[in-house]
Amino acid sequence: MVSELAVTGIGVIAPTGIGLDAFWKAAEQGNCVLDRVDRLAGTGYPVRVAGEVRGFDPAEALEGRIIVQTDLFTQFALAAADLALTDAGLDPSTLDPFEVGVVTASYSGGVEFGQREIQALWRDGPDHVGPYQSIAWFYAASTGQISIRRGLKGPCGVLVTDEAGGLDAIAHAGRAIRRGARAMLVGGTEAPLSSPFALACQFGTGLLSASDDPYTAYLPFTDAAAGYVPAEGGALFVLEDRRAAEARGGEVWGVVAGHGTTFSGLNRFDPGGEGLVAAIRAALAEAGCAPEEVDVVFADAVGTRAADDAEAAAIRAVLGANVPVTAPKTGYGRGYAASAALDVAAALASLEHGVVPPTPNVTATRVDLDVVTHLARRVEPRSALVLARGLGGSNSALLLRRASG
Amino acid sequence: MSARELEPQELAEVITTVAGVTVTARSLTDPPTRTFADLGLDSLALLGVVAELSRRYGIPSRAEALECRTPRDLMAFVNDEIRSGV
């Protein structure tokens, strides 16, 4: 019988910093690191501003043998997994390998790697496609590489539900723990900024901000909302049964108390917010949490009028207009599955530190919500709700609770 | 086809570039029984190495080349192919 699902390790690779400490400090201060990105200019698409991870050197984090066979999104995942395990103080080689598994989510996959190899195929012929194309560009690459690197033979999975995947993966890993897994590595990473192919997959949605001003490009919930700014990076977590974690002396960041997910139509964001309402209700029901017990909401914050309105309506419908709502991602971008994972990291740090980080660059909002702007707010939250929607029609909500009551 | 033969130095460079495993010419054959697996190359890595050698030298029997377990065997195999092609 599982006591509670405890997050015992957090590994963050974010545009605002590598490691939870740097990431949280930037979130708490409301730093904005969005910037004009040279790689984007080379893609030929009118997208200029993004959240780029600038402090990450694959050669520092990983062996050369691994680098040649992986896309950047997998390199982020491998590095974040190492950080999460170190943070958890857990060496998986001390556990039964069949009791430790991996679940990752990605929306973009290894598109840069794929584009390079497909160009070689088109230009020079099949003999010029490298063998690692067979493994590197698929969504499953990160889960597979982590499991190989760490010798993990427990339940493994891969989810592709756009941003919602970062939350759904955690729920999926939670089910594995309930079925007997001893520990799970779980999270989401993305590297969607480096190739025309990657941009083509995003630009066609019409949701990307075309602004070239980093400070006004991504302003969800405002009159100036003009889409979102893409980002790369991600986060991985170590998830364990709380009793087992504490028995080994592991420290608990927070508890995954409830998850809900719904599907409300292809190729559009949840019209009206009904799907998100149902997801929030399901997450609260699983957690046994009353609406008034939710102390802070980490919003999806798509940054278009319709999607923002739908999200605001969903939050008001279930939780009312007084719950503090924040979107730290306006400081570093919306990175699909990576973004939901980073929101979970921010929410756990928020519960731990008793502070709700602000929504960078957003000042006057036009929605009837208590959006935390300008400065972090000390509210000692005991529970945090993270929201994420996917363009494919998925809507997810994850309720996290503070480790100590 | 080239009459030039494959030397350990070139194979070491190909392995380093294609498989991402840094090796020296000497480490390939010292001891002579050293296998690709010993060097940290799996079957996909060897596939990439053989494909690159094939682009440089033309190796008609690539499937056989992939059965070589040691750098020493692979160099002998490739050089046989080169000579027979001259």
User: Residues A177-188: what's their mean pLDDT?
Assistant: 97
Per residue in A198-236, pLDDT tens? 988 888 888 999 999 999 999 999 999 999 999 999 999
The answer to whether A214 and A49 have CB atoms below 8 angstroms apart is yes
Question: In whole numbers, what is the pLDDT of chain B averaged over residues?
Answer: 91
Mean pLDDT over all residues of chain A? 95
Q: Is the N-terminal amide bond of B31 cis, ω within 30° of 0?
A: yes
> Does B20 contact A131 at a Cβ distance shorter than 8 Å?
no
**Tens digits of residue pLDDT in A98-116:** 999 999 999 999 999 999 9
The pLDDT value given to residue A312:
97
In angstroms, the CA A92 to CA A102 distance is: 12
Cβ–Cβ below 8 Å for A68 and B40? no
Residues B15-28 as b/e (b if ≥16 CB within 10 A, e otherwise) read beebbbbebeeebb
Q: Round to whole Å and give the CA distance between A110 and A202.
A: 14
Judge whether A148 is closer than 8 Å to chain B, CB to CB: no
Nearest residue of chain A to residue B52 (CA atoms): A128
The answer to whether A63 contacts chain B (CB < 8 Å) is yes
pLDDT above 50 (res A44) = yes
Q: Which residue's structure tokens are 């730093």?
A: A31
CA distance A9 to A82: 10
**pLDDT given for residue A266 in this prediction:** 67
Using CA atoms, how far residue A305 sits from A28, A301, A310, in Å, is 26, 10, 9
| pLDDT over 70, % of chain A | 99
Start-end ranges of CATH 3.40.47.10 in chain A?
5-247, 256-402
Residue A364 identity: A
Residue A176 token pair: 């594995």
Computed from CA positions of residues A194, A195, A198, A199, in that sequence, does the dihedral angle turn out positive or negative?
A: positive
**Does residue A280 contact residue A397 with C-beta atoms inside 8 Å?**
yes
Give the residue extent of every domain in chain B: 8-85
Average pLDDT of the segment spanning A372-400: 95
Residues of B near A (CB-CB distance < 8 A)? 16, 18-22, 40, 44-45, 47-48, 51, 54-55
pLDDT of B2 over the 60 cut: no
What is the fold, at CATH topology level, of the domain defined by B8-85?
1.10.1200
CATH number of A5-247: 3.40.47.10
Please tell me the predicted confidence (pLDDT) of residue B1: 47
Q: Compute CA distances A123 → A129, A205, A269, A288, B56, whole Å.
A: 10, 29, 38, 58, 17
| CATH code of the domain occupying A256-402 | 3.40.47.10
pLDDT score of A300: 97
Q: What is the mean pLDDT of residues A282-307?
A: 97
Would you say B48 and B65 are in contact if contact means Cβ atoms under 8 Å apart? no
Element (DSSP H or E) covering residue A201: helix A196-203
